[in-house]
Structure 1
Amino acid sequence: MTPEIFKYLLVTLFVAATFWFSYLGMKKTSGLKSFSIGNKDMGPYLIGITMAASISSTATFVINPGFVYTHGLSAYLHYGVGASLGILTAFMLLTRGFREVGEKTQALTIPDWIYHRYGSRKLSLFFALINLLSITFVVLILVGCSILMSSIFPVSQKMALVISLLFVFSYVLMGGSYAHAYTNAFQGLMMIAISLVLFFNGMKYFDGDFIGTLTQFGANYASAFNSESNLYYDFFSVFGSSFVISFALMMQPHIFTKVLYLKEDKDVNKFILTTIVVGVVFSLMLFIGFFAKISGLVVDRQDLVVSSYIIKEFGQNGLGQYFLTFVTIGLLAAGLSTLDGILVALSSMAVNDIYMPFAKNKSDDGKAGLLLSRIVLVGIGLVSFALAWNPPQLVGLFAQKGVYALAAASMAPICFGVLIKRKIPVQIVAIASMIGFFGHLILNLFMGVYNPSVSSSYSIIASLSFIVFYLLLTHGPKINESVVYLED
């Protein structure tokens, strides 16, 4: 079998398997609830792999290694150490409490969870609207997938973009959360294999001396704090901001809502352990930035580092070409594994939190909501396609600006909603969210804080401090007041 025939055969099998899993999901999807969070019949290991794959998307597998390639050890520590610690801490602190509130109130989305916790439809609507900023991350993933596809198939990046969009939107339309979970588990296993193979294959470049090898590109490149970098230059920009924003990014609509998939409390530990172990394996992909640099690869755009390295490393011999195809399909799977989760979350929020609360006619069986969520999904696809057609040069930073604003707004309401068992006035929560949201955008867009992690971290700290200050001022008998969750 020639490499060319193998390439098309593997793609055919991948597409067929994906649609088969989405078909299985479609048979279990009967209404908006099952489309959004399933029917509580998915196991913790499946959900854990799905969660890890959703977190470690095109950013980890395609985009972030380019930052390591350009900025060196400081970028690796930012994404590989600071971010991992932030994710781990968020899971350990918030998973059980978030699930408890969601289970008690039958929340379907993050804005829905906020409505039940704080009792404000306006605040819920605000979060539903700003969650639409996740579309910037959809653009990042679509661009990343189109770059990968055009690198091994004889199609332009524009045509690859069209194919990627039609493929992922079609199978998500079929099965919703089930299609997302089933295909993510399948894609996640491919991602595990690729991460391990690429990591162990590339370790030869260090020749047993990690720091010494990096030093050949300059002391700053091998330094924890790169004074020549405009992104990762001191402790806060490398570790502090990464920890804070990664913690906050767990509040994204396509990530923390997976906690609501779990059926019982006893599943939580299995879910967390699976997510962490698989996530650590995925983070090995960051080393490709080092491997590409040491191998002498010269790339004009850092977004192309991973695809260029894989072609250089495996495209020169017969067996390598077969593996090149498998790796590229796996990297596409990495992007799709997050993209489908975002799409499910966005379409569910648009219906459940923006349309349904104000609709005059509400369907009891959820079928009308399911149909509307699919219609909204098509609209999201068209907007994403328009934005991805001519993307900004550094699409990673473009996505971070929007998604980090969302994370900065979500941090205080969710953290205090889980950790503080008392009523907090909705006005205080709203102000804290505004501080996080607009603080990040003002710092990043108008005040020269170029690194989105830093600008969002500053605004998150200010947002959290505002609520802490309120709690200290009102400390007293009210601290033991029970929260009354709203139930429809």
Structure 2
Amino acid sequence: MSATAIWIGVAVYLLIAVTVAWLSRDESTNGRGVSMSGYFLGARRFGGFVSALSYSATTYSAFMMLGLAGLTYTAGVGAFGFEIVYFVGVSLVAVFGPRFWRVGRAYDFITPSEMLGHRYESRAVAASTALTNCLFLIPYAAVQLAGVGYLLAGMSNGAISFTTGTVFATVVALVFSYIAGMRSVMWTDALQAAFMLVSATAVAWLVVHHLGGPAAMFDQLAAVQGNVLTVPGPGFFSFATFLGLTLPWFFFSLSNPQVSQRLFMPKSLSALRRMLIGFLCFGLVYTLVSVTWGFGALLTLPGLPKADLATPSLLASDIIPPLLAEVVMIGILAAAISTIDSIMLTLSSMLSRDVYAHAAGHRDDVRQLRFGKWVLAVIAVLALMFAELQLNLIAVLSVAASTGLAVVVPAIIGAFFWRRGTAAGALASILGGSAVVLTMFATGMRPLGLSAGVWVLPVSIVLFVVVSLCTRAPRAVADEFMARACQNKQ
């Protein structure tokens, strides 16, 4: 596909998306009634339908159509099992979602880290959670930027460079974030999610049809060397590798703050429930479509130099009509950008609310919001620099980020279900767990042959429990917090 055709399609997408973002502005984001809640949470007024589409677009980003398709290309059907584990893990939202929503309303929490700081009566817990999230989420944002770079470079046969694609995605994400904060992100997400689901499903149908139908496709897959329809198949997924990748992925909905922060946003508990149901329906279809893409690329385009090029190469092939390929390309690009701007907004809200506000003593929304908007650009530049490293396998890098983020899971579970949890325990699990993850990734250590993805949760849980039992718990705050989390107030 020519670079000119690609840029024309992108220009049309930008015109529509920027218009939607601009129309989403209201008094809480346009300067007349500025507030942290308005800018970063959309004033907590989103309905279930928009919330479901936005939750889907943010979660199913470049990872799915590029990363999961690439992982399927490399590892076979094990990639489907890996993603289904995440899908099952979303059931955690049914347990924790209403609790997040209730305490968010009761205490006016803006960020998950602020929630933990309140529960454990510790500014240090809030700040350490925010900084740890930055440490591991900026590389995850970089993965999305890299996805756009690979996509545009692959679709244009190199006419658009990888760097041009990543810089473009960074600028667009910043524009959406600055226009109206989370309101513009949510509404553009909703548009993008519907757009990419329909177009991606159409491509999957064409690929299967080209291969002779579902039965013929599976017959061909069964004949592929390494038998990609079994586990370990080509050899990528040993049991230890599968366990190391899937354990952190199971807790994604709790550990990733750009996702858990959205539990504060629906206008009611019924809207929250509709968000979860809508997301599950979207996710099941999208998972099947992404895996189908990976298998289709494996059969029609074997021997690609990088597995992450499976989707761009498939879209650039003769199987897909050029117009549909461009539509899908824009859908993937939009999905990646939706995750990038969500991450940037979440991290900037955490840094302004839980680090800057406490360090500088500024509790008013105006100063916090001013700092949050400034730090958005800093986060974007850091993510762009990391993306330029062009590290391989988007799916594996995404899970590596989730491995680091999993250190907050014991503190989150303890906040709602264990009165004995303390600030010292939370700090030990977050900081100690992070140190273990970073050490293992840096040195390549694999105790007992198991990766950091397996060790991170046991280490963090032990640290949280042991240190909490040795220190004094804030019983009064814990009792009030847990009582509010269980109230049935709408």
The TM-score range, normalised by the shorter chain, is 0.7 to 0.9
For residues 160 and 390 of structure 1, the distance between their equivalents in structure 2, rounded to whole angstroms, comes to: 14
Asked if the contact 1:117/1:486 (under 8 Å) is kept, the reply is no
Going from structure 1 to structure 2, the CA distance change for 1:428 and 1:175 (only over 3 Å counts) comes to same
For residues 111 and 453 of structure 1, the distance between their equivalents in structure 2, rounded to whole angstroms, comes to: 29
Asked if the contact 1:139/1:399 (under 8 Å) is kept, the reply is no
Calculate percent identity across the aligned residue pairs: 18
Q: Which among 112, 136, 139 is matched to residue 139 of structure 2?
A: 136
Aligned to 1:44: 48
**Map of 1:309-458 to 2, 5 A cutoff?**
309-314=314-319, 320-363=321-364, 366-406=365-405, 408-420=406-418, 422-449=419-446, 454-458=451-455
Going from structure 1 to structure 2, the CA distance change for 1:92 and 1:469 (only over 3 Å counts) comes to farther
| Structure 1 residue 223 corresponds to structure 2 residue 230 | yes
Going from structure 1 to structure 2, the CA distance change for 1:456 and 1:57 (only over 3 Å counts) comes to same
Deviations 1:339-397 (A, max 9, x none): 1110110111111111011224443xx23322221111111122222222333244544
Per the TM alignment, residue 307 of structure 1 is displaced from its structure 2 partner at its CA by: 0.4
For residues 257 and 125 of structure 1, the distance between their equivalents in structure 2, rounded to whole angstroms, comes to: 16
Going from structure 1 to structure 2, the CA distance change for 1:464 and 1:150 (only over 3 Å counts) comes to same
Asked if the contact 2:432/2:460 (under 8 Å) is kept, the reply is yes
Asked if the contact 2:41/2:265 (under 8 Å) is kept, the reply is yes
- Matched residue SS, 1:254: helix
Per the TM alignment, residue 110 of structure 1 is displaced from its structure 2 partner at its CA by: 1.5
Asked if the contact 2:24/2:180 (under 8 Å) is kept, the reply is yes
Per the TM alignment, residue 216 of structure 1 is displaced from its structure 2 partner at its CA by: 1.5
Amino acid aligned to 1:74? G
Q: Which among 253, 260, 264 is matched to residue 256 of structure 1?
A: 260
Per the TM alignment, residue 454 of structure 1 is displaced from its structure 2 partner at its CA by: 4.8
For residues 140 and 480 of structure 1, the distance between their equivalents in structure 2, rounded to whole angstroms, comes to: 39
For residues 60 and 399 of structure 1, the distance between their equivalents in structure 2, rounded to whole angstroms, comes to: 10
With 70-79 and 335-344 compared, the bigger mean Cα shift is at: 70-79
Deviations 1:169-188 (A, max 9, x none): 11211111101101100110
| Structure 1 residue 185 corresponds to structure 2 residue 190 | yes
Deviations 1:137-165 (A, max 9, x none): 11111111122223445432222222222
Amino acid aligned to 1:327? V
Going from structure 1 to structure 2, the CA distance change for 1:273 and 1:453 (only over 3 Å counts) comes to farther
Going from structure 1 to structure 2, the CA distance change for 1:228 and 1:481 (only over 3 Å counts) comes to closer
Per the TM alignment, residue 486 of structure 1 is displaced from its structure 2 partner at its CA by: 13
**Map of 1:109-120 to 2, 5 A cutoff?**
109-120=111-122
Asked if the contact 2:68/2:291 (under 8 Å) is kept, the reply is yes
Asked if the contact 1:105/1:486 (under 8 Å) is kept, the reply is no
**Map of 1:190-201 to 2, 5 A cutoff?**
190-201=195-206
Going from structure 1 to structure 2, the CA distance change for 1:148 and 1:296 (only over 3 Å counts) comes to closer
Aligned to 2:94: 92
For residues 16 and 108 of structure 1, the distance between their equivalents in structure 2, rounded to whole angstroms, comes to: 31
Structure 1 length-normalised TM:
0.87
For residues 313 and 479 of structure 1, the distance between their equivalents in structure 2, rounded to whole angstroms, comes to: 66
Q: Which among 53, 67, 81 is matched to residue 77 of structure 1?
A: 81
- Matched residue SS, 1:250: helix
Going from structure 1 to structure 2, the CA distance change for 1:102 and 1:34 (only over 3 Å counts) comes to same
Aligned to 2:488: none
**Map of 1:288-299 to 2, 5 A cutoff?**
288-299=293-304
With 167-176 and 18-27 compared, the bigger mean Cα shift is at: 18-27
| Structure 1 residue 121 corresponds to structure 2 residue 120 | no
Asked if the contact 1:77/1:224 (under 8 Å) is kept, the reply is no
Going from structure 1 to structure 2, the CA distance change for 1:191 and 1:456 (only over 3 Å counts) comes to same
With 22-31 and 390-399 compared, the bigger mean Cα shift is at: 390-399
Asked if the contact 2:410/2:461 (under 8 Å) is kept, the reply is yes
- Over aligned residues, Cα RMSD in angstroms? 3.1
Asked if the contact 1:423/1:483 (under 8 Å) is kept, the reply is no
Q: Which among 458, 463, 466 is matched to residue 460 of structure 2?
A: 463
For residues 334 and 185 of structure 1, the distance between their equivalents in structure 2, rounded to whole angstroms, comes to: 10
Per the TM alignment, residue 435 of structure 1 is displaced from its structure 2 partner at its CA by: 4.5
For residues 167 and 483 of structure 2, the distance between their equivalents in structure 1, rounded to whole angstroms, comes to: 43
Aligned length: 469
Amino acid aligned to 2:56? A
Per the TM alignment, residue 128 of structure 1 is displaced from its structure 2 partner at its CA by: 0.8
For residues 219 and 148 of structure 1, the distance between their equivalents in structure 2, rounded to whole angstroms, comes to: 27
Going from structure 1 to structure 2, the CA distance change for 1:465 and 1:248 (only over 3 Å counts) comes to farther
Per the TM alignment, residue 434 of structure 1 is displaced from its structure 2 partner at its CA by: 3.5
Asked if the contact 1:23/1:174 (under 8 Å) is kept, the reply is yes
Amino acid aligned to 2:316? I
Going from structure 1 to structure 2, the CA distance change for 1:160 and 1:469 (only over 3 Å counts) comes to closer
Per the TM alignment, residue 248 of structure 1 is displaced from its structure 2 partner at its CA by: 3.8
Going from structure 1 to structure 2, the CA distance change for 1:472 and 1:380 (only over 3 Å counts) comes to closer
- Matched residue SS, 1:39: helix
For residues 333 and 85 of structure 1, the distance between their equivalents in structure 2, rounded to whole angstroms, comes to: 26
Per the TM alignment, residue 192 of structure 1 is displaced from its structure 2 partner at its CA by: 1.0
Amino acid aligned to 1:446? T
For residues 405 and 348 of structure 1, the distance between their equivalents in structure 2, rounded to whole angstroms, comes to: 20
For residues 405 and 453 of structure 1, the distance between their equivalents in structure 2, rounded to whole angstroms, comes to: 15
For residues 485 and 92 of structure 1, the distance between their equivalents in structure 2, rounded to whole angstroms, comes to: 17
For residues 45 and 303 of structure 1, the distance between their equivalents in structure 2, rounded to whole angstroms, comes to: 31
Asked if the contact 2:424/2:467 (under 8 Å) is kept, the reply is no
For residues 177 and 462 of structure 1, the distance between their equivalents in structure 2, rounded to whole angstroms, comes to: 35
Going from structure 1 to structure 2, the CA distance change for 1:329 and 1:248 (only over 3 Å counts) comes to closer
